[in-house]
Amino acid sequence: MLIPLIPSAKINSTWRLSYGYSCCMKIIRFAFLFISVSGFAQTKILFDANKAQMCSNADWVIDADVFNLGLGSGGIMQAGQSNEANPAKTPTPAQSGITQSTPETYWDGALSAWAVDLVKLGYTVETLPYNKTITYGNTSNAQDLSNYKVFISDEPNILFSAAEKTAFMQFVQNGGGLFMIGDHTGSDRNFDGFDSPQIWNDLMNNNTVQVHPFGMSFDSTDYSQTSSNVANLPSDSCLHNAAIGNVTQIKISGGSTLTLSTSQNNSVRGLIYKTGASNSGSTNAFFARARFGTGKVAALTDSSPPDDGTGDPNDNLYFSYTGEANGNHRVLLLNTTIWLAAVETPSAVNEVNKEETAFEIYPNPVHAENLQVKINDGLLGQKLTVVSTEGRIVFAETINTNLTTIPFSEFSTGIYFLRIGEVTKKLVHLF
């Protein structure tokens, strides 16, 4: 099953309403809060397995129970042809069984670690199987993109159809988050004449909504290196997340680069670059992000960083997710997914209001006592997580009452972050 043209190193990838406000303002603000928070309660993330992401030694899926796909004519995947992963829509065992100590091997896919971490953060994950259809606004399709907040496709190997490209563009334009992961030039795993850099470029260059929408294009390049050439953007959400961590490097194992154009899209920004390149320039980016319409897009030029090293037993996989680049890949992928999934508010005022009214914690600092978390009705049903500065999740629970007690006396002293939905608060634990 090894494909010789792919280098072996590679195959691896809270309420404090002032009485000064009018009643009317309170109602408006409350209504807004309710809308923004309730929309987040069912944040679903869809992982694409529709474009031969399991072909050859790729296994860029979150879970599979059946291994029977193989190459059909024209590079499409067909059941009964071989022993490649054939992921179902819903991963098994059920994600409701995932606790903070669940290992990534709960599911069988090279992207299971990423997916299990997302469930631990409160998201729902699903797969788009090989024989399903990408649509946007088609109510008869149970997996229509409008049901999801983020679509992740790690190294698609089959061109998207014209209708699918329109669907992606409308999805992003209307607030969706698209994570485009590519690979090095010449990585055509299913021998249909197209590799993932070409496939992503085809989406951006040839679609009915807008040509060059994101201000980025994949280059025909192939690099392997560890780079610490990270943009100096202290407030960037993909690089910095108080609960998850800061991105300081990446290991590219057979990956391409991106050329960026702010004249095409003035929101585009490279975040990690090839060693020696300008870390604010328009060339040689390994990772970039942009906004389009009310949505967001991120691009990574190598399929290796999400690889957790376990999945299809017939593949050669490499533990890169936390096994390489000092754990930075996990941080980058989680920060970016959180950013892509975040429901954004139309104004800074609303942003502040949402932070203040989402939930309250007391006392803070907390000593050897229980921490009380008072939660607005709009957050009921969501997951509350407490994360240490090292990224260790020390508490996670779906919250079904307005007051939750956390036994902080059991935890070591230090700084912690409480997250519910998209709001994170900092907490200090002292003796």
Do 336 and 285 touch, CB atoms closer than 8 A?
no
Size of the site for Ca ion (CB under 5 A): 18
State yes or no: residue 313 binds Ca ion (CB under 5 A).
no
What three-state secondary structure class fits 301?
A: coil
| H/E segment holding residue 350 | helix 348-358
Contact with Ca ion (CB under 5 A) among 6, 11, 33, 54: 54
Contact with Ca ion (CB under 5 A) among 188, 219, 302, 307: 188
Contact with Ca ion (CB under 5 A) among 48, 63, 219, 422: 63
CA-wise closest residue to 288 among 340, 238, 251, 248: 238
State yes or no: residue 182 binds Ca ion (CB under 5 A).
no
Cis previous bond, 7, omega within 30: no
- Sole window of 14-22, 228-236, 255-263, 302-310 interacting with Ca ion (rule: CB under 5 A): 302-310
- Sole window of 18-26, 36-44, 54-62, 114-122 interacting with Ca ion (rule: CB under 5 A): 54-62
Contact with Ca ion (CB under 5 A) among 9, 65, 90, 363: 65
Q: How are beta strands 150-154 and 177-181 bridged, if at all?
A: parallel
For residue 355, give the amino acid letter: E
**Which two tokens mark 423?**
């709001």
State yes or no: residue 317 binds Ca ion (CB under 5 A).
no
Contact with Ca ion (CB under 5 A) among 155, 164, 192, 236: 192
Q: Which is nearer to Ca ion, 63 or 422 (CB)?
A: 63
- Sole window of 31-39, 161-169, 187-195, 420-428 interacting with Ca ion (rule: CB under 5 A): 187-195
Q: Which is nearer to Ca ion, 175 or 186 (CB)?
A: 186
Contact string (CB under 5 A) for Ca ion, positions 150-169, x = contact: -------x------------
Q: Is the dihedral of CA 275, 279, 283, 285 positive or negative?
A: positive
State yes or no: residue 92 binds Ca ion (CB under 5 A).
yes
Contact with Ca ion (CB under 5 A) among 311, 322, 330, 340: 311
Q: Which is nearer to Ca ion, 77 or 387 (CB)?
A: 77
State yes or no: residue 236 binds Ca ion (CB under 5 A).
no
State yes or no: residue 59 binds Ca ion (CB under 5 A).
yes
State yes or no: residue 310 binds Ca ion (CB under 5 A).
yes
Contact with Ca ion (CB under 5 A) among 315, 354, 366, 373: 315
The DSSP-derived string for 287-339 is EEEEEETTEEEEEES-SSTT-BS-S-TTS---B-TTTSGGGHHHHHHHHHHHH
b/e map 316-329, b = 16+ CB within 10 Å: ebbebbbbbbebbb
The structure tokens 């819903």 sit at 90
State yes or no: residue 194 binds Ca ion (CB under 5 A).
yes
Angle subtended at Cα 261 by Cα 304 and Cα 211, rounded to the nearest 5 degrees: 90
Beta bridge partners of 225: 252
Site for Ca ion in 267-296 (CB under 5 A): none
Q: Which is nearer to Ca ion, 43 or 190 (CB)?
A: 190
Contact with Ca ion (CB under 5 A) among 86, 185, 187, 190: 190
Minimum CB distance to Ca ion, residue 334 (Å): 16
Do 407 and 64 touch, CB atoms closer than 8 A?
no
Angle subtended at Cα 309 by Cα 305 and Cα 313, rounded to the nearest 5 degrees: 140
**Which two tokens mark 253?**
């194992």
Contact with Ca ion (CB under 5 A) among 154, 219, 236, 308: 308
Rounded-to-5 percentages of helix, strand, coil across the chain: 20, 25, 50
Environment class of 407 (CB within 10 Å of its CB; exposed 0-12, middle 13-18, buried 19+): exposed
- Sole window of 105-113, 167-175, 253-261, 379-387 interacting with Ca ion (rule: CB under 5 A): 105-113
What distance in Å separates the CA atoms of residue 30 and residue 15, rounded to the nearest whole number? 10
Helix axes 162-173, 196-205, angle to 10 degrees: 70
What distance in Å separates the CA atoms of residue 140 and residue 372, rounded to the nearest whole number? 44
State yes or no: residue 410 binds Ca ion (CB under 5 A).
no
- Sole window of 81-89, 272-280, 284-292, 394-402 interacting with Ca ion (rule: CB under 5 A): 81-89
Give the interface with Ca ion as residue ranges (CB under 5 A): 54, 59, 63, 65, 84, 92, 104, 112, 157, 188, 190, 192, 194, 308, 310-312, 315
